[in-house]
Amino acid sequence: MARRVVILVACVILVGVAVLAVRVTSGRFSGGDWPTVRTQAPSTALVTPDRSGEAAADYGWRLVAQDDFDGRRVNTADWEVYAGRNPVSGETLSADQCVVRDGILTLVGNGDDTAATCGIAWRADRTYGRWEVRARFPAPADPDFNPVLLLWPESDTNTDGEIDFAEIYDPARQYVESFLHGPGNTAAGQTRKSPFDITGWHNYALEWQPDHVTCYIDGVAWATYGRPGTIPDQPMHLVIQQNHNRHKAAAPIRSTAEIDWVRLYE
């Protein structure tokens, strides 16, 4: 009999402990004195969209003007076509060397003693902005023919600065350079992207702002300049030309540069 009483008391005690445990556990999830455990939802990995290959599309620049060279000649309403002889370089600039066909502008450098070549300048000047040009530079080329995409000042003197955002000196066309000429024509920076095959199509872009100049190729920044006092601040315009810088007596070999389109952005 005594043994049954002990067992009965033990059972009562166990039941009481179980009830107490249930109440305490319940209190943890029903606003009692226990801290609330918050479950954080799994984070979603950021997905970087594929690059477009154009700086303007990747960074949301707003288009203000363009030329796709869909006509039969350079549109002289938008462009000034250089003509005449440069006594410094000895080159001849002619509209005949600016050939527009099948949506492509080709700057032709003659393979003869004239070294006749092409240059065009956008008529409208502006202070700050963004530009993008789709271009290729075939090889082989003569080392004395140097294509360049640049901004040139309205004053027609580089004492107000100059921005060369794609300048080519390699006859094999395997590298490209950028140059910044600050106010007073000071050497404010130079960058070379090498090795880099420029015989294929690429998008060359420039962002000119009060505190920096950044050059892009296919949407990727490759040269940035921003030293105080070196950024041009006077109106400028886009120029596309193939210079002939004579370094030898022999006539050059025929050399070309090709432009698919030009776009101007805010």
How would you class 175 by CB atoms within 10 Å of its CB: exposed for 0-12, middle for 13-18, buried for 19 or more?
middle
Among the listed ranges 7-11, 112-116, 126-130, 225-229, which one has the minimum average pLDDT value?
A: 7-11
pLDDT at position 45, please? 36
pLDDT per residue over 9-36, tens digit each?
343 333 343 333 333 333 333 333 323 2
230 versus 12: the higher-pLDDT residue is: 230
- The percent of residues in the chain predicted with pLDDT above 70, rounded, is 80
Residues contacting residue 218 through CB under 8 Å, at least 6 positions apart: 51, 53, 54, 202, 203
Mean pLDDT for the stretch of residues 162-171: 98
CB 61 within 8 A of CB 265: yes
Residue positions counted in the chain: 266
Both tokens of 174, joined, read 């395997």
Whether 168 has a pLDDT exceeding 80, the answer reads yes
0.85 cut: is pTM over it?
no
* pLDDT of amino acid 25: 35
Task: Give the pLDDT band (50/70/90) at residue 87.
Answer: confident
R_g over Cα of the chain: 34
Percent of the chain having pLDDT more than 90?
76
What are the tens digits of pLDDT across the range 175-201? 999 999 999 999 999 999 999 999 999
Tell me, rounded to whole angstroms, the distance of Cα 115 from its chain centroid.
32
Nearest to 129 by CA among 262, 236, 241: 236
Peptide bond into 195 cis (omega under 30): yes
In order, the DSSP letters of 52-93 are -S-HHHHHTPPEEEEE---SSS--TTTEEEP-EE-TTT--EE
| pLDDT classification of 50: cutoffs 50, 70, 90 | low
